[in-house]
Chains A and B, each alone.
Chain A
Amino acid sequence: MSKRRPYVRPMAGWWRKNPFFVEYMIHEGTALFVAAYALILLTGLVYLSRGEAAWNVWLEGLKNPWYIAFHWLTLAAMCYHTYTWFKIMPRTMPPVVVGGKRLPDFAITGSGLAVAATASLAMLGLVWGMAR
């Protein structure tokens, strides 16, 4: 009879065992803030469809200090999500060859972050211009 008795270690709490996994879980967790903000914008759209009075009620609601604090928190979460998203991008896309040479990881991450920053600033400028 075989004396083999392979031991399978439990996986409970796996993500706390390595800083890399903790960062991964924070990255995944910040996606919830992205989803939450999409819901907030969607709610605004619903209020807008009910007419000007309803829209103004929603706008007033946004001025609540708790809501503003939540916005800052969401902004921080979004920034972290964006950063970690583009950090992993070189691992998730086919190699980009420019002039016979493979584009290094930092160039891919860097251009991703640059595009995200430019798009955000353009959006901010557009909305700012419309609000004035």
Chain B
Amino acid sequence: MSENQRIIEIEVLRYNPETDKEPSKQVFEVPFTDDMSVLQGVQYIKDYLDGSLSFRWSCRMAICGSCGMMINGEPSLSCETFLRDYYPARVRVEALAHFPIEKDLVINMEGFIEKLESIQPYIIPKEERTLAQGEYLQTPAQLASYEQFSSCINCMLCYAACPQFGLNSEFIGPAAMALLHRYNIDSRDGGKGERMELVNSEEGVFNCTAVGYCSEVCPKHVDPANAVNQNKTNSAADYFMRFLTPKGGAK
């Protein structure tokens, strides 16, 4: 710790499933320096003040997507949010909104993982090629069309920003839909027909009411709201296509 060390209050929403009926607030006084992130503040609490505090983290550089928390009510990666920006006020830290709390700042992400699996997040080749035929080629323009949607790090901040997901946890939600869109518009992919069933379903895009906050909080500028809303148009087109073509859009 350097000389210009100050003390900041960090208020953490604690929850222990073995002893607590519901979550409650606990305030810690944490010494910090200008270069310390909220994650480092929380790590200080665990190392020196209360070893029972639970939270997820890994890379400390906004790549792994593990350390998402509500910081003063906003979904944020705690590794790229700095204590100095809140001082001298107290900073409030809470588990990601709209997800069930397992313990303290750790949420249950099972539902999200299931959704990721359900969208078939891999290329379903349009045409099978043998090894001898070589790789599937793509132009830079074709790459550019989906590249932003492939930058998702599965941090789930967009779900914590989506009130419709909070009200109905069945909603496929922003990140999974952005990834679905990423594969659907990939020139090498032929799985759109299968994935459109999910887009059109009860759990699909029409749960979205264009709040747009998901894209605001996304640390990787994926713009999931754009993916969801483009697929509202795709879904409507898919619906009307069935009257025009023998097999329709989705299978």
A residues adjacent to B (C-beta < 8 A): 3-9, 11, 14-15, 17-18, 20-21, 24, 28, 88, 90-95
Taking CB atoms, residues of chain A closer than 8 Å to B211 are: 20-21, 24
Q: How far apart sit A6 and B15, CA to CA, in the bound complex (Å)?
A: 9
In the complex, are the beta carbons of A21 and B17 less than 8 A apart? Answer: no
Query: Which 5 A-B pairs rank lowest in CB-CB distance, beginning with the nearest?
Result: A6-B100, A5-B17, A92-B229, A91-B225, A7-B101
- How many residues of B sit at the interface, in one of the four size bands? 20 to 34
Show 12 A/B contacts (Cβ-Cβ < 8 Å), sorted by A: A6-B100, A9-B101, A11-B167, A14-B163, A18-B73, A21-B211, A91-B210, A91-B212, A91-B223, A91-B226, A91-B229, A93-B230
In the complex, are the beta carbons of B17 and A4 less than 8 A apart? Answer: yes
Q: How many A-B residue contacts, CB cutoff 8 Å? A: 67
Taking CB atoms, residues of chain B closer than 8 Å to A95 are: 145, 226
In the complex, are the beta carbons of A21 and B163 less than 8 A apart? Answer: yes
Taking CB atoms, residues of chain A closer than 8 Å to B66 are: none
Q: Assuming A21-B213, A24-B211, A91-B215, is B17 touching A3 (CB within 8 A)?
A: yes
Taking CB atoms, residues of chain A closer than 8 Å to B167 are: 11, 14
Closest-by-CB residue of B relative to A87 is B212
Q: How far apart sit A72 and B29, CA to CA, in the bound complex (Å)?
A: 52
Q: Which of A7, A17, A20, A93 contacts B229 (CB 8 A)?
A: A93
